[in-house]
Structure 1
Amino acid sequence: MAKIVGQIRSSDYLERSGMWWIRSRSMQKQNNVCKNTVNSLRLDAVGLAVLAALAVSGCTTYQPSYAPTVMRNKITVTESVERLELYVGQAGLHLSSRDENAVAAFLSQYASSGQGPLYINVPSSGATSQGVEQAQSIIQSYLGRMGLNGASMQAGQYKVEEGAAAPVIVSYRRLRTVPIDCSQGASLTHTSNNQPYGNFGCAQTANLAALIDNPMQLLAPYGFDNAYAARRMTVIDKYIAGEVTASAKPEGQEVSATEGAR
């Protein structure tokens, strides 16, 4: 015979299951609230870190990413000695047309870029004294043709061994720019640091150095001449009289906008 321990009513079961569902939903809501709180705290921390980084970056000063190219590729100016040798024979100095052109070109270069006096060094032996005098006379004649009669000339002697060639050496000093070698550069594929390669701007500087005719321009500026006193007095007189001090423009230089558009 079966023994009945207890009887559960359907209403009691529904009530208990409902309480369990309510309790489980409540616990789920609490878990979601905790998760949302943790996520919000994380977002707040990230936001504070971003704001702090922006605040710190706002206090920094501007710094160029790299130094100017003029600091990395400098033009070097050096002094060189240009020389011309005139070989004198026992019968004197005889210059061919080619030699005359060489002397003219040498002295023309001295007139344009020479620094200091023109040096004429002759051998210490007097075996070719006649040719030495002829060389000096020829050089002075060429300088006179170029309008350099007042050019400073310094004569000197040098020792020569017996039987050796003893030319007359004409020389002068000049400034020149040193050629820049741009072939030695950094790798063009190394761009991880977002910086220009090491010899960036080298080609431009090398071309500029080759184009400069007078390197003295890199060492000191040209001096200013005195103002033209007659023109200054003309401007002052017109200013006192209340007249226009500017120079008069020729009629052909005045063109209106409508005429220029035609």
Structure 2
Amino acid sequence: MTVRKLHAPSRWRLAAGLLAGLSLGACTTRTDVTGSISSSDVRERHPIVLRDAPRSLDVFVGRAGGSLDARQSEDVVSFAREFRHSGRGGLVAQVPTGSGREMAAHDTLNGIRRALARGGVAPGALSVRTYPVADPGLASPIRLTFASLQAGLPHSCGQWTEDAGVSDFKRDMSNEPMWNFGCSNQATLAAQVADPIDLVRSRAEGRADIVKRMNAIGKLREGKDPSTQYRQETPQINSAVGGR
């Protein structure tokens, strides 16, 4: 076997080729993204965050005072149950002053206390504060407020920071979604979650149905099918309309 020696120019060309190959090999580690796939996920542009925020209920004061009506009484009872489930800290009642209906506000506050008691809230959990009425001619309610963990977006939707037209050729040819795209979907999802903690972690598994499990094991021992057989009745449309 004859080994040929490379001249100096050839050795330099070979070394340059190897370096170029190594540099190209390093570039292949990057993930290629086509123009039809967005590199910006909607969950990154509009993330759902958890924060402590106030929940409020306005209870309107009647002119004649007295107890709460049926609608407002049920609203306060439901608000009390929500406070017991997700409330953090105490419950505050802001009572209006300076409207000339202090006695009616006092009667309404007593009705609120009774409704809160029906909802399971202890009397000591409610603290009363006052606020001045700016316009006595307008309705001045008693506002109940407590803090709770809520899910939401860190910004408001409807922000069109970029031109949706054809003013920016580079932006148009990138085939990227607009920044506001998906914001309303994320905000609606956050508002529909009953317990915001479900967005962070799953719940613990409940107890197994021992009766159902033992019935399935008994059927397996008897050589029967352990699956549940549901009876489904399909209505006969022809017989219902006369069969013509």
TM-score by length of structure 2 reads 0.54
Q: CA deviation at 1:133?
A: 1.9
Q: Is the CA contact (8 Å cut-off) linking 2:92 and 2:144 kept in structure 1?
A: yes
Q: Is the CA contact (8 Å cut-off) linking 1:135 and 1:168 kept in structure 2?
A: no
Match of 1:119 among 91, 97, 110: 91
Confirm or deny that 1:209 pairs with 2:187: yes
Instruction: Write the distance in 2 (CA, Å) between the matches of 1:239 and 1:204.
Output: 50
Q: CA deviation at 1:173?
A: 3.6
Instruction: Write the distance in 2 (CA, Å) between the matches of 1:92 and 1:242.
Output: 72
Instruction: Write the distance in 2 (CA, Å) between the matches of 1:168 and 1:102.
Output: 11
Instruction: Write the distance in 1 (CA, Å) between the matches of 2:121 and 2:182.
Output: 37
SS of equivalent residue, structure 1 residue 247: coil
RMSD over aligned Cα atoms: 4.8
Instruction: Write the distance in 2 (CA, Å) between the matches of 1:251 and 1:138.
Output: 46
Instruction: Write the distance in 1 (CA, Å) between the matches of 2:230 and 2:141.
Output: 61
Matches within 5 A, 1:114-153: 115-116=86-87, 119=91, 121=93, 129-138=106-115, 149-150=119-120
Q: Is the CA contact (8 Å cut-off) linking 2:93 and 2:144 kept in structure 1?
A: yes
Output one character per residue of 1:229-257: Cα deviation in whole Å (capped at 9) or x when no partner: 2111112222333322211254768xxxx
SS of equivalent residue, structure 1 residue 84: strand
Q: Is the CA contact (8 Å cut-off) linking 1:87 and 1:93 kept in structure 2?
A: no
Name the structure 2 match of 1:71.
44
Distance change >3 Å, CA 133–CA 193, structure 1 → 2 = closer
Distance change >3 Å, CA 110–CA 209, structure 1 → 2 = farther
Match of 2:24 among 45, 51, 57: 57
Output one character per residue of 1:168-221: Cα deviation in whole Å (capped at 9) or x when no partner: 432344524233343123776342796454845x42243232244126143343
Aligned residues: 194
Bigger shift: 110-119 or 178-187? 110-119
Q: CA deviation at 1:160?
A: 6.2
Instruction: Write the distance in 2 (CA, Å) between the matches of 1:94 and 1:249.
Output: 51
Distance change >3 Å, CA 129–CA 208, structure 1 → 2 = closer
Percent identity between matched residues is 13
Name the structure 1 match of 2:54.
80
Indicate the structure (1 or 2) with the bigger Cα radius of gyration. 1
Gaps of 5+ in 1: 1-44, 254-262
Gaps of 5+ in 2: 1-12, 34-38, 235-244
Q: CA deviation at 1:155?
A: 1.4
Instruction: Write the distance in 2 (CA, Å) between the matches of 1:160 and 1:205.
Output: 36
SS of equivalent residue, structure 2 residue 219: helix
TM-score by length of structure 1 reads 0.51
Match of 2:220 among 239, 257, 260: 239
Bigger shift: 55-64 or 227-236? 55-64
Match of 2:211 among 230, 238, 242: 230
Distance change >3 Å, CA 77–CA 105, structure 1 → 2 = same
Bigger shift: 100-109 or 55-64? 100-109
Q: Is the CA contact (8 Å cut-off) linking 2:59 and 2:142 kept in structure 1?
A: yes
Q: Is the CA contact (8 Å cut-off) linking 1:76 and 1:177 kept in structure 2?
A: yes
Distance change >3 Å, CA 84–CA 130, structure 1 → 2 = closer
Q: Is the CA contact (8 Å cut-off) linking 1:116 and 1:173 kept in structure 2?
A: yes
